[in-house]
Chains A and B, each alone.
Chain A
Amino acid sequence: MYGFEALTFNIHSGYLEAIVRGHRSGLLTAADYNNLCQCETLDDIKMHLSATEYGPYLQNEPSPLHTTTIVEKCTLKLVDEYKHMLSQATEPLSTFLQYITYGHMIDNVVLIVTGTLHERDVHELLEKCHPLGMFDSIATLAVAQNMRELYRLVLVDTPLAPYFSECITSEDLDDMNIEIMRNTLYKAYLEDFYDFCQKLGGATAEIMSDLLAFEADRRAVNITINSIGTELTRDDRRKLYSNFGLLYPYGHEELAVCEDIDQVRGVMEKYPPYQTIFAKLSYGESQMLDKAFYEEEVKRLCLAFEQQFHYGVFFAYMRLREQEIRNLMWISECVAQNQKSRVHDSVVFIF
Chain B
Amino acid sequence: MSSPTMDLLRSEPMQLAQLIIPMESAHRTISYLGDLGLFQFKDLNTEKSPFQRTYAAQIKRCGEMARKLRFLKDQMTKAGFSPSSRCSFDTRVTLDELEVKLGELEEELIEVNANSDKLQRSHNELLEYKLVLQKAGEFFHSAQSIAAAQNHEFEANVMGEVSIDSPLLLEQEMSVDPSKQVKLGFVSGLVAREKSMAFERILFRATRGNVFLKQVAVEDPVIDPLSGDKIEKNVFVIFYSGERARMKVTKICDAFGANRYPFTDDIAKQYQTISEVSGKLSELKTTIDVGQLQRSNLLRTISFEFEQWNLLVKKEKSIYHILNMLSFDVTKKCLVGEGWCPISATDQIKNTLQQASLDSNSLVGAIFQVLQTEESPPTHFRTNKFTSAFQEIVDAYGVAKYQEANPGVFTIVTFPFLFAVMFGDWGHGLCLFLATLYFILREKKLSHQKLGDIMEMAFGGRYVIMMMALFSIYTGLIYNEFFSVPFELFGRSAYDCRDSSCRDASTVGLIKVRGTYPFGVDPKWHGTRSELPFLNSLKMKMSILLGIAQMNLGIVLSYFNAKFFGNDINIWYQFVPQIIFLNSLFGYLSLLIIVKWCSGSQADLYHVMIYMFLSPTADLGDNQLFFGQKYLQILLLLFALVAVPWMLFPKPLLLKKQHQERHRGQAYRPLYSTEDSFELEIQSDLHGHEEFEFSEVFVHQFIHTIEFVLGAVSNTASYLRLWALSLAHSELSSVFYDKVLLLAWGFNNVIILIIGIIVFICATVGVLLLMETLSAFLHALRLHWVEFQSKFYEGDGYKFYPFSFASLSEDEE
Which residues of A come within 8 Å of B, CB atoms?
Answer: 35, 38-40, 43-44, 47-48, 50-51, 59-63, 122, 136-137, 139-140, 142-143, 149, 152-154, 157
Contact = CB atoms under 8 A, between A and B. Distances in A.
A140 B207 CA distance: 13
Contacts of B198: 136-137, 157
A47 B61 CA distance: 11
Contact of A153 (B56, B195, B205): B205
B63 A140 contact: no
Contacts of B255: 122, 137, 139-140, 142-143
B202 A154 contact: yes
Interface string B674-696: 00000000000000000000000
B67 A59 contact: yes
A190 to B, nearest CB: 28
- Which of A48, A137, A152 lies at the interface centre, i.e. has the most chain B CB atoms within 10 A of its CB? A137
Given A143-B248, A153-B202, A122 B63 contact: no
A43 to B, nearest CB: 6
Nearest to B194: A136
A154 B202 CA distance: 7
Contacts of A48: 49-51
Given A60-B67, A152-B205, A43 B60 contact: yes
B43 interface: no
A44 B51 contact: yes
B776 to A, nearest CB: 32
Q: How large is the interface on B (under 10, 10 to 19, 20 to 34, 35 or more residues)?
A: 20 to 34
Contacts of A149: 206
Contacts of B251: 140, 142-143
Contacts of B49: 35, 38, 48
Interface in B26-58: 49-52, 56
Contacts, number: 65
B67 to A, nearest CB: 6
A35 B248 CA distance: 52
B708 to A, nearest CB: 38
B64 interface: yes
B519 interface: no
B124 to A, nearest CB: 19
A159 to B, nearest CB: 15
A148 B59 CA distance: 58
A36 to B, nearest CB: 9
Given A60-B67, A153-B202, A154-B202, A140 B52 contact: no
B51 A47 contact: yes
A154 B255 CA distance: 12
A155 to B, nearest CB: 11
B563 interface: no
Interface string B179-210: 00000000000000001001001100110000
Q: Which applies to chain A's interface (DSSP): helix, strand, loop or mixed?
A: helix
Nearest to A123: B254
Given A137-B202, A139-B254, A153-B205, A47 B50 contact: yes
B71 interface: yes
The 4 closest A-B pairs by CB, nearest first: A139-B255, A35-B49, A140-B255, A44-B51
Nearest to B254: A122
A64 to B, nearest CB: 11
Contacts of A137: 198, 202, 255-256
Contact of A136 (B56, B59, B70, B195): B195
B70 A60 contact: yes
Contacts of A50: 63
Contacts of A122: 254-255
B277 interface: no
A38 B48 CA distance: 11
B720 interface: no
Contacts of A140: 202, 206, 251-252, 255-256
Interface in B109-140: none
Interface in B250-266: 251-252, 254-257
Given A60-B70, A139-B257, A140-B206, 17 more contacts: A35-B49, A35-B51, A38-B51, A38-B52, A43-B60, A44-B56, A47-B59, A48-B49, A61-B67, A122-B254, A137-B198, A140-B255, A143-B202, A143-B206, A143-B251, A143-B252, A154-B202
Contacts of A39: 51
B71 A60 contact: yes
Contact of B60 (A47, A51, A153): A47
A172 to B, nearest CB: 16
Interface string B199-223: 0011001100000000000000000
A173 to B, nearest CB: 15
A48 B51 CA distance: 7
Nearest to B59: A47
Nearest to A59: B67
A43 B63 CA distance: 11
Contacts of A142: 251, 255
Contacts of B71: 60
A313 to B, nearest CB: 31
A143 B256 CA distance: 12
B317 to A, nearest CB: 12
Given A60-B70, A139-B256, A47 B206 contact: no
A2 to B, nearest CB: 41
Interface string B224-264: 00000000000000000000000010011011110000000
Contacts of B67: 59-62
A61 B202 CA distance: 38
A55 to B, nearest CB: 11
A50 B66 CA distance: 13
Contacts of B206: 140, 143, 149, 153
Nearest to B257: A139
A142 B254 CA distance: 10
Contact of B50 (A51, A62, A153): A51
Nearest to B110: A62
6 contacts: A35-B51, A47-B63, A63-B64, A139-B254, A139-B257, A143-B248
A136 B51 CA distance: 43
Nearest to B61: A63
Contacts of B252: 140, 143
Contacts of B202: 137, 140, 143, 153-154
A48 B63 CA distance: 12
A39 B63 CA distance: 17
A94 B63 CA distance: 40
A303 B56 CA distance: 38
Nearest to A32: B49
A45 to B, nearest CB: 9
Contacts of B59: 47
Contacts of A51: 50
A335 to B, nearest CB: 12
Contacts of B205: 152-153
A43 B62 CA distance: 13
A48 B50 CA distance: 7
Nearest to B52: A38
Nearest to A138: B255
Contacts of B64: 63
- Which of B52, B64, B205, B255 lies at the interface centre, i.e. has the most chain A CB atoms within 10 A of its CB? B255
A28 B310 CA distance: 31
Interface string B60-83: 100110010011000000000000
A47 B70 CA distance: 17
A63 B248 CA distance: 42
A139 to B, nearest CB: 3
A271 B469 CA distance: 76
